[in-house]
Amino acid sequence: MRGIFSVGLGASLAILMAGGCAGENPGGECNSHEATVCELGSVYWQDGCGKREDLIGACDCGCDGAGVDCKTPCECQPQCTSKCCGDNGCGGICQDACAAAGQVCNPASCECQGTCAAATCDDLGKECGQWDDGCGGFLQCGDCAEGVCGADGKCACTQGQKRCQGASYQECQAGVFTELQHCGDEQACLVELGCVDCDPAAGNVCSGGDVHACNPDGTVGGLVETCWTEACVAGSCGDPACPPETMFIYVVDDSYRLLSFNPAGGANEFALIGNLNCPAGPSWPDWGGGGTATPFSMSVDRSGRAWVLYTSGEIFLVSTTDASCQASPYPKGQDGFKLFGMGFVSDEPGSEAEHLFIAGGNVDAQVMGDMAMIDPNTLALTTIGPCPQAEYGPELTGTGKGEWFGYFPGAGSTFVAKLNKLSGQIDNQWPLPGLAGDIRAWAFAHWGGKFYIFVTTYSGSYDSKVLLLDPEDGQTETLLDNLPYIIVGAGVSTCAPYN
């Protein structure tokens, strides 16, 4: 699910495209303060490549529908009298008036306060009862599971009694619990064993990304299974239970932003997860001279991890919860596939097994690329056949029903096709209206029986849209337009709804 990223050239923007079955070609400069973007109620400058720069100011009434400026006219009167910060009642925020005086603004009371740091129960050494926090408030340090709370804020205990209090392993000595060990971040506290690396009662454990046994004494035992490119989750490779994060569509834009897109109930909302900081090498030399690599395409596996292909040919495994990434062992340029679109597809309807289907080839192969599939366990690539003929090559998506689809953009001929997993050719297709302007980026995902298309065109200015195709009636509608993102990749797990 891939597209083309934008590149600024002076006061204008050039269109250079190549890669995979259809690609992109970077070049030019990213001029500072080229445009504005409005996010979370504040307006920022952004450069000619769409990267956010310095803050211009906060909005009284939130962002406008285009996401480029404050909403005007303001249809309500901001209520900031006697407030130093917080919600202004109109979708915006009151400016912080406390910082200049060296104070902090309490968003609950909207009053300036001193810089008093309230104490915690740990700071006071209390484990039960109510205590003064030193800043005019009170701490509730809890109740004692056994016995009573003493005047010193400690729970009474019997000699030799052991317990885990958070990360503290304690023993009762002379009527008072005394810490014996403080467990590390990766350790568990067990009453019977103290601080341990794993819980023997829980079975196998993940260590170093692979499955290991847990010894009876709580130490990590021998290797049970190597997970390769699958995530190790709860002591096993992969996560067939489909975690909650597999229920969304995920997208990446040309400014390295990873976002979720929620189509459930017609919400159609984007949410920023974070900025990618993957340690990619330079782009392929025949990709704009081998400059800084950027995201090119992506897909999401059943454990909820994003597989993000960079213009360097490297695939990174990215968390869809915090955007952290790690390099995969995928050999770049395998069998001549330098850049490609991709999508996971279940092997059979309802199967937990899946393969990563790709469409691509040489960097300069705009249309005449090939179809292939990658085994996610061994990363071995198997070529299927040539890409179907079209103006531009496809971005791909798949379902838990074992179906494989491609989106083929074009000015004259644009369509979505159901693809044959044995030949890579078209079994069925749905035409869409042609795209006006130069096609700069495209991405694609199937969710809930419908197709979501993320596309950016350029006709003097960028126009990024989300289109919805309903295969039942063949109708296409625009869900969102004038987006502040140039989306170059989209991914959805085969765990996502397909009806």
Tell whether the model's pLDDT for residue 102 goes beyond 60: no
The Cβ-side half-sphere exposure at 142, using a 13 Å CA radius, reads 14
pLDDT tens by residue, 74-101? 778 877 776 777 667 776 767 666 655 5
Cis peptide before 240 (omega within 30 of 0): no
Four-way CATH pick for 244-492: 2.30.30, 2.115.10, 2.60.120, 2.60.40: 2.115.10
Rounded Cα distance between 318 and 82, Å, is 45
Mean pLDDT, the chain, integer: 85
Question: What's residue 47's pLDDT?
Answer: 83
Tell whether the model's pLDDT for residue 6 goes beyond 50: no
321 C-beta neighbours (distance < 10 Å), count: 14
The least confident of 53-67, 401-415, 468-482 is 53-67
126 C-beta neighbours (distance < 10 Å), count: 19
**Predicted structure pTM score:** 0.59
The least confident of 157-161, 189-193, 315-319, 385-389 is 157-161
pLDDT band at 488 (very low <50, low <70, confident <90, very high): very high
Enumerate long-range contacts of 153-159, CB under 8 Å, 24 or more apart: 153/124, 153/125, 153/126, 153/127, 153/128, 153/129, 154/126, 154/127, 154/128, 155/127, 155/128
**321 DSSP 8-state letter:** T
Q: Is 335 helix (H, G, I), strand (E, B) or coil?
A: helix
Closest by Cα among 235, 243, 192 to 212: 235
Question: What's residue 367's pLDDT?
Answer: 63
Mean pLDDT of 130-134: 74
Domain ranges of the chain: 244-492
Tokens representing 284 are 């392929």
Please say whether the beta carbons of 298 and 278 come within 8 A. Answer: no
Tell whether the model's pLDDT for residue 482 goes beyond 50: yes
The secondary element (H helix, E strand) that includes residue 149 is none
List phi, psi (to 5°) of 377: -90, -45
pLDDT tens by residue, 254-312? 999 999 999 999 999 999 999 999 999 999 998 878 899 999 999 999 999 999 999 99
Maximum alpha-carbon separation in the chain: 85
Closest by Cα among 46, 47, 73 to 61: 73
The secondary element (H helix, E strand) that includes residue 1 is none
